[in-house]
Structure 1
Amino acid sequence: MEGVNKSTHPEVPGEPTHTSTALLETATATIQGFGPINKIHQHLCAPDADARLIGLEYIVSEELFLTLPDEEKRMWHSHEYEVKSGVLFMPGMPGPIQRQDLEKVCKTYGKVFHFWQVDKDVEKGFGVSFDKERENRAYMTGPAHGIHPLANGGGKGLKTVLREVDCKPVDSVPRVFV
């Protein structure tokens, strides 16, 4: 039917929301506060308006990260690689404005909760080039004290680096059948 917006996502199993549930949610929304949700001020690498939420991330300054207990630090990662590699971007924002904001993000740490993966070609879908953004962001710096040794890689202090490697063809890999 022409002029009707239709979701590009698969049907979600289950019953549609009942009117009584919708009324209850509306009533509770007038009583409960949504302060944390209303403080969201931007989205990064986000798909279309009808997209599913793929994750939530807490982002803190380097200074706040350094005050966390060592056991907690293991659950966080620096944003230096995500920003400088070009794979983190703000859809629809002009490059210079985006880079100004991402310069700040590059110095932060995040703790992310993923619900599922994005399943489409992000570069093509948003008309961005990770290679071009990588070049445009090469000047940026990460945390002032360097990446903390307990962050990244489950507390192993790993630094993510983009590199190309030759992979052996699948036929050369030994196979084990059980």
Structure 2
Amino acid sequence: MPSFGDHRPPGEPMTMGQHMIDKGAQILQSLKPLKQMSQYACTFALYSHDMTSQIETHHFITRVNQDFLQCAVYDSDHAQGRLIGVEYIVSDRIFEALPPEEQKLWHPHVYEVALASQF
């Protein structure tokens, strides 16, 4: 994605026909999974390849149960924000039950969980 002040992704602008299809979809579709997102946390994340650089991340969170959160992660909380990732946050109990090889693929979310529990 371009990162030189131009936050628009590559591609042609939407046509009037596509705008009409999108409006019709808004009327006809329920988007029930998205409506389950009831929590929000704004955090900063470090780039794994450059630990001196960070990015502001916006987590829109669905609490699946007491031990499991799923997050749609965006680069902004504005209407034009781009989806940059999906994260799962699990409790310490679930994390400790993971095999050591899988634990290496996870990173701590202590601060985000604390923020999310406030909302």
**Coarse TM-score class (shorter-chain normalised):** 0.3 to 0.5
Larger Rg: 1
**Greater share of strand:** 2
TM-score (norm 1): 0.32
TM-score by length of 2: 0.42
Higher relative contact order (CA 8 A, sep 6+): 1
